[in-house]
Amino acid sequence: MTSSARARLLISCPDRPGIVAAVSQCLCEQGANIVHSDQHTTDPAGGVFFMRIEFDLPELDSRGASLTRALEPIASRFQMDWKLAYAARLKPMAIFASKEDHCLLELLWRWRAKEMVADIAMVVSNHTDLRGLVEAYGIPFHHIAVTRERQDQAEAAQLQLVEGKVDLIVMARYMRILSPSFIRRFPNRIINIHHSFLPAFVGADPYAQAYSRGVKLIGATAHYATETLDAGPIIEQDVERVDHRNNVEDLKRIGRHVERMVLARAVTWHLEDKVLVYGNKTVVFA
């Protein structure tokens, strides 16, 4: 169980001397105890500096505003983009799925086992196949049919369900493309799983593409969705070795396992505030 005193501070800014000292001193003066700290710079001389700090602060709920005020002049001085997150505040998320259940099940299993700390507010699907599975977990299931002719109406209904109600949308093999206008409403807050090792085999039917090329590795990629298809900042990737004995169905079976693990790790890291986006890349303090 996450402590109610635990908070996370994420920072990105131009690199220069004194950043760690200033932040650490501020936290100390506020009575906080740093329990974990990670940092990275793209270049010590003029690069971008990234930092993630976990700390405990007694009576965090009542003292958080004071801490924010204390950090603001430091953030201004060092030109920081920064976020303060309370670890005990569960992030509400929606899962978008279609017919395949392997990625959805992995998320549900981890959520039930408390290995993934979140509030799964709903599952939204363009088919009804997974309704019984989802409702057995006590999670609301919403069916919104999507066709080429009613894409706009379907997305309007989806937005009505999620906008202002969830912090994160997870596309767990949701086999529809979200429009650019939808994605713009959730910048770096839509995680997609692509069943190949991007940037290879972009688009439809990547396993058939991979088989035709005689690949020796099958992979999966979890990334933030952007307006450009399958080209958003990559959070996590993994691979499994295959060989000439494997046919397309074997590749799909092996791939499903990789997809489950990769998506679950990416979602967990996002929920734990371990991902910082920089341009079209990520810094992941996993």
Q: Which residues are catalytic?
A: 230
What are the two backbone dihedrals, phi and then psi, of residue 218, each rounded to the nearest 5 degrees?
Answer: -110, 130
Q: Give the three-class secondary structure for 233.
A: coil
Place of tokens 């020796």: 216
Contacts of 94 (CB under 8 A, 6+ apart): 120, 121, 122, 123, 124, 161, 162, 165, 166, 168, 169, 170
Radius of gyration over alpha carbons of the chain, in Å?
Answer: 21
Contacts of 212 (CB under 8 A, 6+ apart): none
Distance in angstroms (rounded) separating the CA atoms of residues 139 and 259: 22
Show contacts of 157-165: CB within 8 Å, 24+ apart.
158/96, 158/124, 158/182, 159/185, 161/94, 161/122, 161/124, 162/94, 162/122, 162/124, 165/92, 165/94, 165/121
Torsion of CA 62, 63, 64, 69, to 10 degrees: 130
Contact 262, 170 (CB under 8 A): no
What are the two backbone dihedrals, phi and then psi, of residue 222, each rounded to the nearest 5 degrees?
Answer: -105, 130
Q: Which two tokens stand for residue 248?
A: 């397309």
Distance of CA 147 to the CA centre of its chain: 27
In DSSP terms, 97 is beta-bridged to 125
Q: Counting Cβ atoms within 10 Å, is residue 50 exposed (0-12), middle (13-18) or buried (19+)? A: buried
